[in-house]
Amino acid sequence: MLITFEGVDGSGKTTQLDLLYGYLINKGYDVVKTREPGGTRFGEALREIFLEPGINISSLSELLVFMAIRAQHIEEVINPSLKEGKIVLCDRFTDASYAYQGGGRGVDFGIIETLNRLVTKGVRPNLTILLDCKAEIAFKRKRSGECSLDRFEQERIDFYKQVRTVYLKLSKEDPKRFFVVNGSGTVEDIHKKIRVRVDRLLNDYGL
Ligand code: TYD
C-alpha cells in the first residue's frame, strides 16, 4: 500500500504525514516513512546539494536528478517494502514532478510522464493526499518561520501559484486516487479527515 503526500511548500504535508505515521503505528501496522527528494543514501546526499539556495541548476538537469533519485528510491526502498506488505508513506512522489518541473519550470508534461513511467516501473500510489491551500498562505507561512528557505521555497509567489494549479488539475483528472484536503484548517481537524479517508482505504483492502 503506497500513500503519498503532496502540496505546495508550506501546505503542512510533512506535519500531516508524521501524524498519520504515528496513528498507523499505534494501530499496529508495519509502516515505512520516506521522502523525495531523498529516501536513500544516494537520494539524501543529492537532496542536500539540490536544495541549496543560489546553486545554478537548469530545468532539465533538475528534472533528471529528481528522476534518478526516484529510480533509486523505487528500487531500494519502495518496491521491497511494498513486496513485504508494508504501508509506505511517501512525502512527495511522481505528482511533484508535474507540479514543480512541469508547472513551475515549464518542462513538457509528456517528457515527465515518460520518465515517471520509466523510473516507477508501474508503481502507482493507492492514495495521494493533497494538502491544498492558497499560494499566498503557503508563501507567507514559509516566510514567517525561523528556518532559512531552500532553493524552491525562495521562488516567487507565481511559482507557488503554478505549482498549486497543476496539483489541482491532477486531482481533478484522477479523483479516485486523490484526496484533497483544505490545508488552511487546524492541524487536528486535517489529521482527523485524513484518518477517516485512510481507514476507509485500509478497510477496502481488507487490512
Ligand atoms: P519538500 O518536501 O518541500 O521538503 P521540505 O518540506 O523538507 O522543505 O521537498 C523539497 C523540494 O523538492 C520541494 O520544494 C519540491 C521539490 N520537488 C520537485 O521540484 N520535484 C519533485 O519531483 C520532488 C519530489 C520534489
- For residue 93, give the ligand 1 atom closest to its CA: 24
C-alpha of residue 149 to centroid of ligand 1, in Å? 12
Closest CA to 131 of 167, 95, 88: 167
**Which residues form the pocket of ligand 1, taking CB atoms under 6 Å from any ligand atom?**
9, 14, 36-37, 51, 66, 91-92, 96-97, 100-101, 150, 152
Q: What is the pLDDT of residues 81-97, one digit of tens each?
A: 999 999 999 999 999 99
Calculate what percentage of the chain has a pLDDT beyond 90: 93
Amino acid at 113: E
Give the mutation target among 90, 100, 119 for probing the ligand 1 site: most ligand atoms within 8 A of CB: 100
Q: Does the pLDDT of residue 134 top 80, yes or no?
A: yes
Q: Does the pLDDT of residue 149 top 90, yes or no?
A: yes
- For residue 69, give the ligand 1 atom closest to its CA: 24
Q: What is the pLDDT of residues 162-193, one digit of tens each?
A: 999 999 999 999 999 999 999 989 999 999 99
pLDDT, mean of residues 185-205: 97
Q: Does the pLDDT of residue 24 top 80, yes or no?
A: yes
Give the residue numbers spanning the domain of 22.
2-204
- On average, the pLDDT of the chain sits at 96
- For residue 14, give the ligand 1 atom closest to its CA: 6
Task: Indicate which CATH number applies to the domain containing 31.
Answer: 3.40.50.300
Cα gap 152→143, rounded to integer Å:
13
Q: Residue 29 has what pLDDT? A: 98
pLDDT tier at 194, thresholds 50, 70, 90: very high
Q: Residue 59 has what pLDDT? A: 96
Q: Does the pLDDT of residue 146 top 80, yes or no?
A: no
- At 58, list the grid cell: 537548469
pLDDT tier at 145, thresholds 50, 70, 90: confident
Length, in residues, of the chain: 207
Which backbone phi and psi does 186 adopt, to 5 degrees?
-75, 155
Q: Domains in the chain: how many in total?
A: 1
Q: Residue 82 has what pLDDT? A: 98
Torsion angle in degrees (nearest 10) through CA of 48, 22, 90, 84: 120
Cα gap 183→190, rounded to integer Å:
7
CA torsion sign, 80 to 86 to 92 to 95?
positive
- Which range, 51-60, 78-87, 146-155, is most confident? 78-87
- At 115, list the grid cell: 520518465
